[in-house]
Amino acid sequence: MREEAASIARATRRLLERERALTGGELVAAGIATATRKGLKLPELPAIAVGTVAAPASAPSVPAALSAPGQAASAAPAMPAFAPAPPAAAAAPPAPAAPRRPIASLSKTPAKPPAILPEVILPAFTEPVNASAFDGNRDAIHVAALPVLEQVASEANACTKCELCKTRTKAVPGIGSARSGIVFVGEAPGADEDLRGEPFVGRAGELLTSMIAAMHTKNLIPGVPLDRENVYIVNVLKCRPPENRNPLPHEIQQCSPYLIRQLEALQPRVICCLGKFAAELLLDPKANGLTKTTTLASMRGKTYRWRGAKLIVTYHPAYCLRSPSAKRPVWEDLQRLAQEYLDV
């Protein structure tokens, strides 16, 4: 009898400790998962159900190195110049960039009749999110990251771990800094990058650069200058695959430790995966419910985690060049990135 009581007490303590480790959004997700398992009906939530985003009530102070004069917050940024306006007769545009409301207030006022939610697939996040430029210590992260980034770059420049070293002109380790805490991860260098030793400098690179510039001019993250120097731009592979073919599994396996070391040093707040190679490398398929047939389109629109970083997935700029209509969803994804960045 005494043993039984002790075992119940132990189980209760474990449960309380587990719940204490969860954030508000995770508690909601855990509650939903439990209710769903028990077959309870819940009010329908919007697709963005895990992780709430709230713009800061007042403009937080920014480290001197990051502050840019004359930036003021603006709501619902319109489509920037990099994305063409939709044709007049086009179907209704995708959801506007209104700031997301906290889950608590959404779930109190169900707009639709109750429905059973699918099992929540995103894992519970127990690691704290890495610092933003508002937290005051990104400068320290930036300084501490420099020697690691230099070391990785010199190793990548001399790397002979796979056959790509025989055909490359220059390795392309990465560019930018840890200052903002935003990292864009592409696929592999193309011809222009191979010649210059710098990522995203060809046509796709010009588009990426103008997307980052649009995030800045539309003031998506007020007070944090966004350009190629303040974000970090990097690829899954450091060397160009011949004829721009897709990276091969053994190349990714050999090369990805460089990227992982870079990310560990950069301690990003948000990682933006450009295309499926970056997403498939950085997302744990099991924890995120991904299979071999999961499309990039269905990976979009969610916020994942890679250690202490939030992670979002969007279309590769090269795909946007081939399919200009993809620029609109990319702009939505960049707004999600900014909202997640601002969320505490």
**Smallest gap, in angstroms, from Cβ of residue 201 to ligand URA?**
7
Whose structure tokens read 């980052």? 212
**Smallest gap, in angstroms, from Cβ of residue 206 to ligand URA?**
10
Stretch in the footprint of ligand URA (CB under 6 A) among 39-47, 95-103, 184-192, 331-339:
184-192
Binding mask 317-336 for ligand URA (x = CB under 6 A): -x------------------
Stretch in the footprint of ligand URA (CB under 6 A) among 137-145, 199-207, 210-218, 282-290:
199-207
Which residue number, 125 or 184, has a Cβ lying nearer to ligand URA? 184
Give the whole-angstrom CA distance, residue 183 versus residue 267: 9
- How does 43-71 read in b/e, with b if 16+ C-beta sit within 10 Å? ebbeebbbbbbeeeeeeeebbeebeeeeb
What are the E-state strand segments in the chain? 175-176, 182-186, 232-235, 270-274, 304-306, 309-314
Is 247 a binding residue for ligand URA by CB under 6 A? The answer is: no
Stretch in the footprint of ligand URA (CB under 6 A) among 131-139, 180-188, 224-232, 285-293:
180-188
Residue nearest ligand URA, Cβ-based: 186
**Smallest gap, in angstroms, from Cβ of residue 315 to ligand URA?**
12
Which residue number, 315 or 331, has a Cβ lying nearer to ligand URA? 315
Give the whole-angstrom CA distance, residue 146 versus residue 273: 22
Is 340 a binding residue for ligand URA by CB under 6 A? The answer is: no
Is 205 a binding residue for ligand URA by CB under 6 A? The answer is: yes
Whose structure tokens read 């990465």? 174
Is 197 a binding residue for ligand URA by CB under 6 A? The answer is: no
Give the whole-angstrom CA distance, residue 203 versus residue 180: 24
Is 199 a binding residue for ligand URA by CB under 6 A? The answer is: yes
Stretch in the footprint of ligand URA (CB under 6 A) among 51-59, 114-122, 193-201, 327-335:
193-201
Stretch in the footprint of ligand URA (CB under 6 A) among 16-24, 37-45, 192-200, 325-333:
192-200
Stretch in the footprint of ligand URA (CB under 6 A) among 163-171, 196-204, 263-271, 289-297:
196-204
C-beta neighbour count of 131 within 10 angstroms: 18
Compute how many residues bind ligand URA; rule: CB under 6 A. Answer: 13
Edge-to-edge strands, sheet with 309-314:
175-176, 232-235, 182-186, 270-274, 309-314, 304-306
Is 181 a binding residue for ligand URA by CB under 6 A? The answer is: no
Could you tell me if 201 and 192 are in contact, meaning their C-beta atoms sit under 8 angstroms apart?
Answer: yes
Is 188 a binding residue for ligand URA by CB under 6 A? The answer is: yes
Give the whole-angstrom CA distance, residue 212 versus residue 199: 14
Which residue number, 26 or 187, has a Cβ lying nearer to ligand URA? 187
3-state secondary structure of 182: strand
Give the whole-angstrom CA distance, residue 232 versus residue 128: 21
CB within 8 Å of 245: residues ≥ 6 apart: none
Count of alpha carbons within 13 angstroms of residue 25, beta-carbon side: 22
Footprint of ligand URA (CB under 6 A): 186-190, 193, 199-200, 202, 204-205, 235, 318
